[in-house]
Amino acid sequence: MSVETARQAPSLEDFRAEAEAFLTAAAPRMEAEHRFDFSEEEDRVTLFRGATEAEAERACQWQRTVFDAGFGWITGPPEYGGAGLPGRYERAYQELERRYSVPSRSPLGVSLGMVLPTLQHFGTETAKRRWLRALRRADVVGCQLFSEPGAGSDLASVSTKADRDPATGDWIVTGQKVWTSGAHYSDLGLLLARTSDGERHRNLTAFLVDMHAPGVEVRPLRQMTGGADFNEVFLDGVRVPDENRLGEVDGGWQVAMATLMYERGAIGGSTAGGSGLFRLERIIAWLQDLGRTDDPAVRQAFARVHIGLTAAKAMRARAEAAVKAGTTPGPEMSLSKLALTANLAALSDLVATALGPKLLADTGRRSTFSWAEFVLGVPGMRLGGGTDEIQRDIIAHRVLGLPKEPRTTT
Amino acid sequence: MSAHDVRAALRTEVRRCLDEHVDVRPYLVENGGEARIDKALWGTLTGQMGLAGLLVPEADGGSGAAVADLAVVFEELGAALAPVPMFSTAGLVLPVLRAVEKSEPVRDLLAGIASGSTVATLALHEADGRYSPEATSARAERDGTGWVLSGTKSFVTDAAAADVLVVPARVEAGIGLVAVPAADARTRTASGRSSSVRITTMTSLDLLRPLATVEFDRAPAQVLAGPDVALQLGSGLDIALILLAAEQVGGAQRCLDNAVSYAKNRVQFGRPIGSFQAIKHQLVDLLLEVELARSALTHAVRTADEYLQDPSPATAGALAEGASLARALCSETYTHVADEALHIHGGIGFTWEHDSHLYYRRAKAAQLLFGNPDEHRERLAVAAGL
């Protein structure tokens, strides 16, 4: 299916057949879906995939192949390079792609899941024309420049400054950002910077920054898993044209809130088993391979994982049904991230119970010690994308209607 | 109206009725007191609103609704702790009857339940509080042209209120389903020997659903299904477990709602306690638990309706998996939420006058009757193929 013919909206059956034909030609079918081998080439179980340029490159190449076949932006507007089809086509494609052994797209998670929708919603026409298609085809990769050493959970206190150059109208940015996933292979940064001394929440503006511009320096930060997915980013007099501004001057808080909402949606999407880690039949086969299915503690831990995953999946389905029925979604959506971290913790418990000492040192046996990277990654998921505590605050205020704490800062 | 809207309307209607009429205090059973039900409320819920007949097919005098509809009713009954024998009648006996072959006596009993004229309960558990086909000791024997039942069942809900006791018992070489009219406490059987049904209320943790021991001594009985319906009975019990899970979700939701409301109003240190993160994060965690339990329930209810539409080994397997999954989660959720909600109420929550302990008692009782969470997790692991 080419992008041009997509506008005639093929039937879902035809669309599936075309997708199937493309996938069959482009990738090997997942031979043994019941097995717990995540990749034939490497023995690695991880939540963070994007530490190396090679992984990012594999993701980009696959995204390009998919895009050129017409499946890279199924729901996107045709004027920006999308296929303009309804969401069910996207879901149909995702469902098919899961049956094939394809490179993980997680190095593009921030780029496609956060930067792109924010640009689409808030960008100038020039910026959208320049980058939407390029981001979607992974010719350009985006990262998010929000957190700072002094602005973690309290995002509104960012101190990176953007000053307007009266001569050119450009913005000159100076400051330091941190925890920037994928900055080392990114071309475009979604930046939140202080543009006035006005009131809190009304003094920030959002921009897109060329990560290759003079004055941008990226330094890797090594995380506890041993990998380096994220970075510190130093900005020293970086020039940003006004056409790269997202939203109004001093209206950056609204932009940032929208980005974080996209992020929660994207993270919540993995709650229900979008990730290969959460496939029950694979977990069962892995436990059988290990010969650990007779231990009552393993069986209980397995059942807890099963229950957590099934309930999270059903919670997601309830949220989607509510949206479809036109009623306001209940708390299901906001709770997704907390459900995800709980499920990861349950899986981590199962892995530890099942492996015992084999999690402590490498015996050379496949799919045993390789879980250590996963186990070490779980604490990061409770911090990333807004800490679990920040999520709880949000849910307490917006869903339960509990009063906010009195502020001690302005 | 969509099924979604119909259920929302049903919920509103049931809640309005319960808000108006439920007063649990006169029905608390303490220290060997007699178990009582709210007969007026029972009449309204059954005769007037037809709730006991939701799951009865239209051909048998019911409204042919889905398990999904009945689950909504049980959520609300669980939330209100309504002192009526709905769980025993429509939650336990009815699904079991739906799962077995429809004999004439089964149809009669279904019609009686649908009309609200019959209160029924299932005398299931052995003296150790458990049930399995293998360990079933009660036995039905032929007596002239009829049958008589002998044996003892324990931990029976609403036994004192029941018109009919439905009993899984040995019938010939298998496990059959037998009905015993409770009213015939002392009658003469065809052979002229005396017979009896003796119901003894046990001093129980749950003051609003006391349990009883029922001793059958050559009690006149009717074989509803048999001689071997252990499998169908198992599926019927799985549906009962799901309806009990619905009651648990309703109870947990009410405990949470009460705690949230208290946290907004109770002021300490010059602020509502709900503004402290120690309280609000706790409440969010409870909310997450309740939402996940509700979601697991939704999943399980679907397996129940699929089974009733097309009873097959495949749908029965999915039902068993769904039932144990929902039960394991909803049991732990309700006990935890009831405990923490009580705690958030502070000292007042520990008093006899406050309803917190009634929910705490119900949560604990519902957790441990019909299989505890560990047992359901093990059963789930088996059903999932581990």
pLDDT at A329: 59
Backbone phi, then psi, for A220, in 5-degree steps?
-65, 145
- Say yes or no: B355 and B256 in one domain: yes
pLDDT, one tens digit per residue, over B121-141 is 999 999 999 999 999 999 999
List the domain range (segments joined by +) for residue B240.
Answer: 230-384
Q: Using CA atoms of B267, B269, B274, B277 in order, give the dihedral in degrees to the nearest 10.
A: -170
pLDDT at A45: 82
Contacts of A260 (CB under 8 A, 6+ apart): A385, A386
Answer yes or no: is pLDDT of B304 > 90.
yes
Query: Which of B190, B225, B260 is the C-terminal boundary of a domain?
Result: B225
- Say yes or no: B216 and B242 in one domain: no
Answer yes or no: is pLDDT of A269 > 90.
no
pLDDT at A40: 57
Domains of chain A in start order, with CATH, are 142-249 (2.40.110.10), 270-398 (1.20.140.10)
- The answer to whether the CB of B28 falls within 8 A of the CB of B207 is yes
CB contact under 8 A, A396 and B4: no
- Say yes or no: B162 and B294 in one domain: no
Q: Residue A279: pLDDT band by 50, 70, 90 thresholds?
A: confident
User: What share of chain B in percent tops pLDDT 70?
Assistant: 97
**Which of A79, A263, A332, A389 is flagged as catalytic?**
A263
Transcribe B89-155 into DSSP letters: IIIIIHHHHHHS---HHHHHHHHHHHHT---EEE--B-TTS---TTT---EEEEETTEEEEEEEEEE
Backbone phi, then psi, for A336, in 5-degree steps?
-60, -40
H helical segments located in A69-102? 87-97
Mean pLDDT confidence for A179-202: 96
Q: Residue B188: pLDDT band by 50, 70, 90 thresholds?
A: very low
Which of A283, A286, A315, A341 to mutate: most B Cβ within 10 Å?
Answer: A315
Q: Residue A271: pLDDT band by 50, 70, 90 thresholds?
A: very low
Using a CB-CB cut-off of 8 Å, the residues of chain A touching B263 are 402
Amino acid at B266: R
How many interchain CB pairs under 8 A, A with B? Answer: 127
Q: Residue B259: pLDDT band by 50, 70, 90 thresholds?
A: very high
Mean pLDDT confidence for A87-92: 90
pLDDT, one tens digit per residue, over B51-79 is 999 999 999 999 999 999 999 999 999 99
Query: Which of B56, B89, B119 is the C-terminal boundary of a domain?
Result: B119
- The answer to whether the CB of A101 falls within 8 A of the CB of A30 is yes
Which residues lie across from B141 on neighbouring strands? B148
- The answer to whether the CB of B247 falls within 8 A of the CB of B331 is no
B16 burial (CB, 10 Å; 0-12 / 13-18 / 19+) is exposed
pLDDT, one tens digit per residue, over A192-213 is 999 999 999 999 999 999 999 9
The three-point CA angle A265-A266-A272 to 5° equals 90
pLDDT top residue among A390 and A297: A297
- The answer to whether the CB of B108 falls within 8 A of the CB of B163 is no
Query: Quick one: CA dihedral B351, B354, B356, B360, positive or negative?
Result: positive
- Cα B191 to Cα B172, B180, B188, B197: the distances in Å are 19, 17, 8, 17
pLDDT at A253: 97
- Say yes or no: B144 and B217 in one domain: yes
What's the helix, strand, coil split of chain B in %, to 5? Answer: 55, 15, 30
Answer yes or no: is pLDDT of A368 > 90.
yes
Which residues lie across from B222 on neighbouring strands? B179
Assign residue B158 the CATH number of its domain. 2.40.110.10
The domain tally of chain B equals 3
- The answer to whether the CB of A240 falls within 8 A of the CB of A171 is yes
- The answer to whether the CB of A70 falls within 8 A of the CB of A21 is no
pLDDT at A6: 46
- Say yes or no: B164 and B58 in one domain: no
Mean pLDDT confidence for A81-96: 92
Mean pLDDT confidence for B216-245: 95
Query: Which of B202, B225, B248 is the C-terminal boundary of a domain?
Result: B225
pLDDT at B157: 96
pLDDT top residue among A228 and A217: A217
- Say yes or no: B322 and B371 in one domain: yes
B127 falls within a domain: no
CB contact under 8 A, A303 and B377: yes
Backbone phi, then psi, for A169, in 5-degree steps?
85, -5
Mean pLDDT confidence for A315-321: 85
ipTM of the complex in this document: 0.93
Transcribe B228-275 into DSSP letters: --HHHHHHHHHHHHHHHHHHHHHHHHHHHHHHHHHHHH-EETTEEGGG
Instruction: Search chain A and give the residue with CA nearest B325.
Output: A307
Write out the H or E segment, with its range, that includes residue A231: strand A230-240
- Say yes or no: B215 and B236 in one domain: no
- Say yes or no: B206 and B277 in one domain: no
Using a CB-CB cut-off of 8 Å, the residues of chain A touching B295 are 311-315, 317-318, 332
DSSP 8-class letter at B24: -
Mean pLDDT confidence for A84-98: 91
CB contact under 8 A, A302 and B378: no
Assign residue B280 the CATH number of its domain. 1.20.140.10
- Say yes or no: B210 and B276 in one domain: no
Separation CA A35–CA A409 (nearest Å): 53
- Say yes or no: B238 and B354 in one domain: yes
Count how many Cα atoms sit within 13 Å of the Cα of residue A382 in the half-sphere of its side chain: 11
A263 in catalytic set? yes
Query: Quick one: CA dihedral B136, B142, B148, B150, positive or negative?
Result: negative
- Say yes or no: B252 and B374 in one domain: yes
Answer yes or no: is pLDDT of A29 > 60.
yes
Separation CA A123–CA A130 (nearest Å): 10
Average pLDDT, chain B: 94
Q: Is A160 helix (H, G, I), strand (E, B) or coil?
A: coil
Residue B167 in contact with partner chain A when CB distance is under 8 A: no
Closest CA to A38 of A342, A390, A275: A275
B130 falls within a domain: no
B19 falls within a domain: yes
- Cα B160 to Cα B30, B165, B184, B362: the distances in Å are 15, 10, 13, 19
- Say yes or no: B221 and B267 in one domain: no
